[in-house]
Amino acid sequence: MLRVLQERSSVQSGRRWISTLLVALMAFLLASGQAGAGEPDPIFNDGFDGVVGPNSDVEAARFLDQASFGGRLSDIAHLRAIGYSAWINEQVAAGVSGIKPFLNWMALTEGVYQQHRLEAWLINAAQLYDPAIPLATHNDQLRQRVAFALSEIMVVSDKNAALTFQPWALGDYYDTLSLDAFGNFRDLLEDVTLHPAMGRYLSMLGNRKNDPVLNIRPDENYAREVLQLFSIGLSQLNADGTPVLVGGNPVPTYNQDVVRGFAHVFTGWNFAGCTVENYDDCGPGNPYESEWQTPMQAVEAFHDNSTDKQLLNYPGVALPGGVLTAGGNAQQELDAALDNIFHHPNVGPFIARQLIQRLVTSNPTPAYVQRVAAKFADNGGGVRGDMQAVVRAILLDDQARHGQLSSPSTFGKLREPILRLARLWRVAPAHSVNGHTFRYSHPRDQYGQLPLSAPSVFNFFKPDFAQPGEIRNAGLVSPEFQIATDTQLVTAPNELGWRIFYFYVGSRYSVVWENGAPVPEEALMDYTALKALAANPATLVDHLNLVMMAGSMSDYMRGLLITRLQGTPPDHLPGQPDGAAVDVALFRVQQALYLIVNSPEFNIQK
């Protein structure tokens, strides 16, 4: 317990310092913005990337749709004041939000499970009050959004039984992605490879060299997936992400010999502190122990140092013929193997395309992928794999900024289901009495998606899933549609509806109100600001159009919503005291939120 406390307080004090600095910085920046009376200040807006803007609230909101969990009015104003480039700089510099501090805080009073990881994730995404670090603002939205994207590429999951009761392992894994989000891809690759959660998930942990007596050969699980899913993919790509075709057929990036070669490289790794003697049965006894949060370490006796390994072979490969000659120790061979992957020409376009898909659009043009991949290859300063440069290139590309104009009927993507809840809590700020977010109301299967809870290493959805019908017929892909199933399209609206109609400040609903007071753990949405706009339905709808849909609502939808809000409320609203007069403003806010958050127009981020 002492260890936990110490760790928490050190994180906390570090955070507090960063927060203080940020508050000062933001105050300065806001003041600068205000000096221009709401007009973008050219000094801040004329970024080094040559992308000027945003030039309107709508442009700002649209950018924040891609780069954050959704722009609130204050976010929109701030972005307009400082411009895209400065905003990205600010995000990169912002203190890093973590999952683990909340888990450690939880551990002071009760058992910690995966559901608490979800609470921490929502606190970070929706920027709720954080009881673990009361002064934290969780202003690192871009970093968290990128980390979420990475968590869907380099997948580990609590659906794997060996990880189900390991919330710290997964929390630490997620925090690793957050910390590495703007670092170098090579470091990210190594941190992911050596994380014990990944080690357990794809069985590199405890992997060992050939043992002919015991009939054991190296496990190929991680070797296969790190190539197929985390770095280069199955077939060779052109610089623009399109497949290399020979005689009309794609060309494989590797074969079974290569998988075997990497499998032999990835031998000898186990929990930190394991030894030759206890290699088969060592590791932490409890989920909170440090071994779950410490990179795997090598036990050389179980590392294959006696065979040559066939790794990836490609033009310009450093290893002759892609062969790693025998003799290195576990870390040396790992370094060589990860370098061998990192320098494969596929990595840039492969990762660029998927990050674009998660943040901006399902179907980026090859030229867009190529521009981002070029930044991956060289950030302009001769560095390969600079993720900050990659993210910047993704968001500031002309396609990201104006693709909805050039491809108005296909640009964009289906919003991820769990992001709808985070968005709701940003639009109508949520908070609980004691800083938890749920007592009994944790979402489970309703969204078909929770962070680090994918059904398999193939994520909740695959990058090339194409919804049957018009999208597939057009040769386009729509990954997120894979989980828009008959089941989820009922359960998610119902879950969101439950929150909207029952989980609001003032609600007397039994799950959130008992013994004459709010249930302290349940996060409730505060509708005060929205209700103030509801006297005129058009005002409310236009506000929500900006903060939820970046101003893209059609006149058709706007008209329908206004008509609905002008309609007669029911005699009684859920959660209202018996006999209370009908609160028309509450009715309008709830109806507007529900209808928007479940509408096709909102659900396609454009």
Helices and strands: H and E segment counts in the chain: 25, 12
Cβ atoms of 227 and 182 closer than 8 Å: no
Tell me which residue of 183, 208, 192 sits closest to 296, measured CA to CA: 192
DSSP calls for 192-239: HHH-HHHHHHTT-TT----BTTTTB----HHHHHHHHTTTS-SB-B-T
Residue 471 within binding range of other proteins, rule CB under 8 A: yes
Residue 560 within binding range of other proteins, rule CB under 8 A: yes
Cβ atoms of 525 and 505 closer than 8 Å: yes
Q: Which stretch binds other proteins (CB under 8 A): 5-13, 72-80, 156-164, 180-188?
A: 156-164
Residue 331 within binding range of other proteins, rule CB under 8 A: no
Beta bridge partners of 245: 250
Cβ atoms of 121 and 69 closer than 8 Å: no
From the CA atom positions of the chain, what is the Rg in Å? Answer: 25
Residue 245 within binding range of other proteins, rule CB under 8 A: no
Least spacing, CB of residue 452 vs other proteins, in Å: 13
Q: Binding residues for other proteins, how many (CB under 8 A)? A: 68
Residue 489 within binding range of other proteins, rule CB under 8 A: yes
Beta bridge partners of 500: none
Cβ atoms of 593 and 424 closer than 8 Å: yes
Tell me which residue of 415, 566, 599, 416 sits closest to 497, measured CA to CA: 599
Tell me which residue of 455, 415, 496, 450 sits closest to 117, measured CA to CA: 450
Residue 557 within binding range of other proteins, rule CB under 8 A: yes
Among positions 351-370, residues that touch other proteins (CB under 8 A) are 362
Q: Which stretch binds other proteins (CB under 8 A): 50-58, 100-108, 465-473, 509-517?
A: 465-473
SS3 424: helix
Output 84 or 481, the one with its CB closest to other proteins. 481
Q: Which segments of 313-433 are extended strands (E)? A: 323-324, 413-414, 430-431
Least spacing, CB of residue 207 vs other proteins, in Å: 12
Q: Which of 359, 424, 546, 561 binds other proteins (CB under 8 A)?
A: 561
Output 513 or 594, the one with its CB closest to other proteins. 594
Residue 160 within binding range of other proteins, rule CB under 8 A: yes
How many angstroms separate the CA atoms of 449 and 464, rounded? Answer: 18
Beta bridge partners of 83: none
Q: Which stretch binds other proteins (CB under 8 A): 108-116, 433-441, 468-476, 513-521?
A: 468-476
Residue 410 within binding range of other proteins, rule CB under 8 A: yes
Output 324 or 549, the one with its CB closest to other proteins. 549
Residue 476 within binding range of other proteins, rule CB under 8 A: yes
Residue 215 within binding range of other proteins, rule CB under 8 A: yes
Distances, alpha carbon 570 to alpha carbons 41, 398, 581, 588, 591, in Å: 48, 47, 11, 11, 11
How many angstroms separate the CA atoms of 311 and 324, rounded? Answer: 7
CA dihedral 415, 416, 419, 420 (to 10 degrees): 60
Among positions 568-587, residues that touch other proteins (CB under 8 A) are 568-571
Q: Which stretch binds other proteins (CB under 8 A): 98-106, 211-219, 268-276, 395-403?
A: 211-219
Residue 490 within binding range of other proteins, rule CB under 8 A: yes
Residue 564 within binding range of other proteins, rule CB under 8 A: yes
Q: In Å, how far from its chain's centre is CA 514?
A: 35
Output 443 or 518, the one with its CB closest to other proteins. 443
Q: Which of 132, 226, 414, 544 binds other proteins (CB under 8 A)?
A: 414
Q: Which of 166, 399, 467, 507 binds other proteins (CB under 8 A)?
A: 467
Residue 594 within binding range of other proteins, rule CB under 8 A: yes
Residue 308 within binding range of other proteins, rule CB under 8 A: no
Q: At what angle do helices 114-126 and 141-151 cross, to 10 degrees?
A: 140
Contacts with other proteins, 431-450, as mask; x by CB under 8 A = --------------x-----
How many angstroms separate the CA atoms of 602 and 606, rounded? Answer: 9
Q: Which of 228, 235, 294, 307 binds other proteins (CB under 8 A)?
A: 228
Amino acid at 3: R
Interface contacts to other proteins, rule CB under 8 A: 157, 160-162, 164, 201-203, 211, 213-216, 221, 228, 234, 362, 408-410, 412-414, 445, 455-458, 467, 469-471, 474, 476, 478, 481, 484-487, 489-491, 493-494, 497, 554, 556-557, 560-561, 563-564, 567-571, 591, 594-595, 598-601, 603-604, 606
